Amino acid sequence: MLGLMQDWPLLCHGIIDHAAIQHGNREVVTRSIEGPIHRTNYRDVRIRALKVAKRLDREGVKLGDRVATLAWNTWRHLETWYGITGIGAIYHTINPRLFPEQISYIANHAEDRLMFLDTTFVPLMEKLQDRLPTIQRYVILTDAAHMPQTTLRNAVAYEDWIAEVDSDFAWASFDENTACGMCYTSGTTGNPKGVVYSHRSNVLHSMMALMPDAFDLSVQDTIMPVVPFFHANGWTIAFSAPMAGCRLILPGMKLDGASIYELLEGERVTMTAAVPTIWLMLLNHMETNNLKLSTLRRVLIGGSACPRAMIEKFEKNYGVTVAHAWGMTEMNPIGSICAIKPDYDAKDVEKILDVKAKQGAAPFTVEMKIVDDADKALPWDGKKFGRLKVKGVAVAKAYFKGEGGEILDENGFFDTGDVATIDPFGNLQITDRSKDVIKSGGEWISSIDLENLAVGHPKVMEAAVIGIRHPKWDERPLLIVIPKKGESPTREEILGYMDGKIAKWWMPDDVVFVTEIPHTATGKILKTALRDQFKDYTLPTAVAAE
């Protein structure tokens, strides 16, 4: 017997309808690309999103068509997402930090029909447009006054383009499993692969994200997603914020410490989210200028492992709670968030910080397990590490156009490519990407653990660890360090600081100091480039062993 409840499809544009009705006056504030702070609200965002939908419809964009966005977080970008999804088309976010060849590869692979882009990306797209035959029009996210001279095909200023229609338009209706958004994985190896979110996965993920042990958002909150919309579905904040009815602050393109601090304080932000590199810049700015935070209560950190030292600074020096999360593009993107369960003694501050350095437990809607090489499930003892596999309502079951073939195992689990431990309380800790883990004498060493420990040293700005060939042990860790400005730590100082905090055989065999560590387009340390850079490096211990 089926239930006798209504069939109310979980559609993303239903979220902006709800926000406009229940939270219509709630502000959406942007540091615009043009410069000034721009203010609007959910009611007007919805009205303008309806115009986007109507105008796209007139353009001939149909259900299932892909529409690219190459843009920073702004109110206009937000409107395009709802306008695109409102006719059943698919927003395809493109990361502008990708190499131009990757951008043209993914725009062609997705067969994008139209592109919304910020003025800042016009020169880039002018160079690429000849290689992008499917894009019939470029809509520049600005007004006539700021419209640059451009050779882009059928280029038009966004404000002029939507002014051609009114907002008298009805959202399309379709099944909740209809494709809604698309984001390509960075693909550090091989070509990028397209992950296709559905309306249902976005809505359910956003509801999950609002839970108190996750984003913990209410109508009282002001959230600033510093994480760009183009990074792993913008962590769905474009949906969860209006769903909760909280104020939304969009930082545009200025993501340096000073600009972020100015918005956090000026706009009384209570919750924010980004990768660790952003917070490194903010913390440095606040330390250098002796600043405090007066309204921020919670910061969501993910995308790369958040060092314990960063969590400690936020919590002890600034009174801000850190929620450390793990996720990936293939998961909409959240897979786990660290919240302290009552099983721990909340008064044991140091222990709690140790736990917060883990990536936390899977929320409802995500199932996870760790397995050995024979695919046998490993115990949750916090020690055994294995390949992390996941399953859930917002986990990819295939890539766009079947790239990569079958990606689920026979039990429907997706192999994340991460190696992790899970402790008896269900807290996941990422050891490494499986290809970055260091294999020393048949055992594994976590490069992430070593990096996080090294950045706790007061003279270290950033650290990366890679495995270097070793005649006796197969691989041994090399620690690569960027010192803080004005500091020149020695190898012995850093190794002395690490000594006793990790197993003896985990200690790096050498330390090198550099001025730069390469990063991927999503801000992760680019280990492949580092391995290349140090491929001829000989460890002092290797010479001794020979």
- CA-to-CA distance for 383 and 423, rounded, in angstroms? 7
Any catalytic annotation for residue 79? Answer: no
Q: Tell me which of 30, 222, 233, 520 binds ligand ADP, using CB under 6 A.
A: 520
Among 359, 365, 446, 447, binds ligand ADP (CB under 6 A): 359
Which amino acid type is present at position 522? T
Among 14, 83, 234, 302, binds ligand ADP (CB under 6 A): 302
Q: Which of 62, 292, 439, 501 is catalytic?
A: 439
- What one-character DSSP code corresponds to residue 229? T
Q: Name the DSSP class of 82.
A: H
Give the per-residue contact string, 187-226, with ligand ADP (x = CB under 6 A; - = no): ----------------------------------------
Among 311, 430, 478, 530, binds ligand ADP (CB under 6 A): 430
Q: What is the closest distance, in whole angstroms, from the C-beta atom of residue 442 to ligand ADP in the complex?
A: 23
The answer to the question of residue 114 lying near ligand ADP (CB under 6 A) is no
Nearest 5 degrees, angle CA 521-CA 524-CA 527? 105
Closer of 240 and 329 to ligand ADP (Cβ):
329
Based on the shown chain and the rule CB under 6 A, indicate whether residue 433 belongs to the binding site for ligand ADP.
yes
How many residues make contact with ligand ADP (CB under 6 A)? 23
CB atoms near residue 485 (< 10 Å): 8
Instruction: Give the interface segment with ligand ADP, choosing from 44-52, 201-209, 303-311, 390-398 (CB under 6 A).
Output: 303-311
330 is catalytic: yes
Residue 516 annotated among the catalytic residues of the structure? no
Closest separation in Å from C-beta 543 to ligand ADP: 33
Q: Is the peptide bond before 333 cis (omega within 30 degrees of 0)?
A: yes
Work out which of 328, 362, 530, 539 binds ligand ADP, going by CB under 6 A. 328
Q: How far apart are CA 118 and CA 211, in angstroms?
A: 33
β-pair type (321-327, 334-337): antiparallel
Q: Applying CB under 6 A, which of residues 169, 326, 399, 506 lies at the interface with ligand ADP? A: 326
d(C-alpha 182, C-alpha 184), whole Å: 7
Cβ 250 to ligand ADP, closest distance in Å?
20
**In this structure, are residues 412 and 391 in contact, taking their beta carbons and an 8 Å threshold?**
yes
Pair 418, 430: CB distance under 8 Å: yes
Catalytic residue among 444, 484, 493, 541: 444
Report 399-428 residues binding ligand ADP (CB under 6 A): 416-418
* Subset of 133-192 contacting ligand ADP (CB under 6 A): 185-186
Structure tokens at 383: 């020690």
Binding status of residue 303 toward ligand ADP by CB under 6 A: yes
- Please report whether residue 247 would count as binding ligand ADP according to CB under 6 A: no
- Can you tell me the distance from the alpha carbon of 524 to that of 355, in angstroms, rounded to the nearest whole number? 22
- Tell me how far apart the alpha carbons of residues 408 and 250 are, in angstroms, rounded to a whole number: 36
Residue 26 CB, shortest distance to ligand ADP, in Å, is 29
Q: What is the DSSP string of 485-546?
A: TT----HHHHHHHHBTTB-GGGS-SEEEE-S---B-TTS-B-HHHHHHHTTT---HHHHHH-
HSE-CB of 380 using CA atoms within 13 angstroms: 12
Of the candidates 155, 305, 454, 465, which one interacts with ligand ADP according to CB under 6 A? 305
Residues 53-82 that bind ligand ADP (CB under 6 A): none
**What's the burial of 486, exposed, middle or buried (CB within 10 Å: 0-12/13-18/19+)?**
exposed
Our CB check for ligand ADP shows the closer of 246 and 282 to be: 282
Is 527 noted as a catalytic residue in this protein? no
Catalytic residue numbers, as ranges? 185, 330, 439, 444
Residues of this chain that bind ligand ADP (CB under 6 A): 185-186, 232, 302-305, 324-329, 333, 359, 416-418, 430, 433, 520, 522, 524
